[in-house]
Amino acid sequence: MTPDIPDNAPGPLPYGLDQVVAALVATPESINSVTRLYYQLYLEYTFGSLDLGALLLQQDSLSQTLAHGKTEQETAKAMLRRLRDLPSRSSRYVPL
């Protein structure tokens, strides 16, 4: 899958950057599941509807959400590492 590149782009992407851009374009536009879980639990706590029994019943779901969130976090770290490893290049093009 090749990402859409603006017409005024300065030319071919540096080696490796095309793979990073393609991976970023392919990711779903959603919030990390752990962040969503945090706000859900925070609201339940704030309004007094959070209790230990409910948490124990959701233990499997919580574990799966945490594992999924950890995977998303590792993927983001890997992308950032790959971006940092790319060589810099001078350009008059400034993406907006």
Domain count, the chain: 1
Domain around 65: 31-85
Between CA 26 and CA 63, with CA 41 as vertex, the angle to 5 degrees is 60
pLDDT in tens, the chain (96 residues): 455 555 555 556 656 677 777 777 777 777 778 888 889 889 998 998 888 888 898 899 899 989 988 888 888 888 888 888 877 777 777 665
Q: Which residue has the tokens 């959701």?
A: 58
Q: What is the pTM of this model?
A: 0.54
Q: Decide if 9 is inside a domain.
A: no
Q: Decide if 22 is inside a domain.
A: no
Contact 83/20 with Cβ under 8 angstroms?
A: yes
Q: Decide if 80 is inside a domain.
A: yes
Contact 9/96 with Cβ under 8 angstroms?
A: no
